[in-house]
């Protein structure tokens, strides 16, 4: 009989293999289209029911992949938010939202699958709630929201909420678009994730500082 430690380690390795295979298949074929059976096979599991055994349903598997990336992104963002504390330069706060994501993607090496995966999760009616939940529980995101309010005290609360949502959408889908272009070998407007982040930060600073037309 295996000792309990060795067994736990093996389970840990299997789970990681499944998460990695699932993320890749989700990005390349679609979150809904990639079956548990196919993921089990791609993860090198003899038992094609391995995904169900280790993760339950699709939503649980998706949540586990989101969490695996949310941890390092939250760490990066917590550090940046702490450094930005008290700043009234909106660029600092936009950077706190963009750089942790792009630095994490850059650190994963090439290719990445996470951005394409996440863009699907964000638009899937059965799964998008998972992203909202993760965002709600991030302490650094909450502090960043306060940072924007502090920087832009004259921006009406509804417009602040509106632009905050636009910012999240734009970061998510711009990263996914870049990842998609890289995967196809297509041209990209920027040579690196770092430079892509700079372009995104420029655009988002403009978005936040734009004058507000009051509704008729």
52 Cβ neighbours under 8 A, 6+ residues apart: 36
Site string for its own copies, 37-76 (x = CB under 8 A): ----------------------------------------
Total interface residues for its own copies by CB under 8 A: 53
8 interacts with its own copies by CB under 8 A: no
Question: Which tokens go with 86?
Answer: 């008290």
159 interacts with its own copies by CB under 8 A: yes
State the distance between the two ends of the chain, measured CA to CA, in whole angstroms.
Answer: 74
**Separation in Å, CA 123 to CA 1, 72, 115, 156:** 46, 23, 13, 27
Side-chain-side CA neighbours of residue 144 (13 Å): 28
Quote the least distance from Cβ 11 to its own copies, whole Å.
30
**Separation in Å, CA 137 to CA 71, 74, 140, 143:** 12, 10, 9, 12
Quote the least distance from Cβ 54 to its own copies, whole Å.
22
83 interacts with its own copies by CB under 8 A: no
**Residue 126 three-state SS:** coil
190 interacts with its own copies by CB under 8 A: yes
149 interacts with its own copies by CB under 8 A: no
Cα–chain center distance at 37: 25
Report the residue number, 185 or 189, with the smaller CB distance to its own copies.
189
Binding site for its own copies (CB under 8 A): 27-33, 116, 119-120, 122-126, 128, 158-159, 161-163, 165-166, 169-170, 172-174, 176-177, 180, 189-191, 195, 198-213, 215-216
């Amino acid at each position: 009989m295996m000792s309990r430690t060795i067994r736990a380690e093996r389970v840990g390795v299997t789970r990681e293999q499944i998460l990695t295979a699932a993320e890749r298949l989700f990005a390349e074929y679609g979150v809904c289209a990639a079956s548990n059976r196919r993921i089990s096979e791609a993860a090198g599991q003899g038992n094609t029911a391995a995904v169900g055994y280790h993760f339950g349903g699709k939503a649980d598997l998706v949540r586990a992949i989101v969490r695996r990336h949310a941890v390092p992104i939250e760490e990066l963002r917590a550090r940046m938010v702490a450094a930005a504390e008290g700043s009234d330069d909106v660029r600092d706060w936009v950077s706190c939202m963009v750089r942790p994501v792009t630095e994490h993607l850059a650190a994963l090496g090439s290719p990445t699958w996470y951005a394409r995966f996440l863009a699907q999760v964000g638009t899937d009616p059965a799964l998008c709630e998972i992203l909202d939940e993760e965002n709600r529980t991030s302490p650094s995101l909450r502090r960043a929201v306060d940072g924007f309010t502090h920087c832009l005290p004259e921006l009406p609360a509804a417009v602040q909420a509106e632009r905050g949502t636009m910012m999240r959408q734009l970061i998510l889908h711009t990263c996914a678009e870049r990842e998609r272009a890289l995967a196809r070998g297509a041209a990209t407007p920027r040579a690196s994730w770092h430079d892509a982040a700079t372009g995104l930060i420029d655009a988002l600073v403009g978005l936040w500082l734009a004058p507000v037309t009051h509704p008729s």
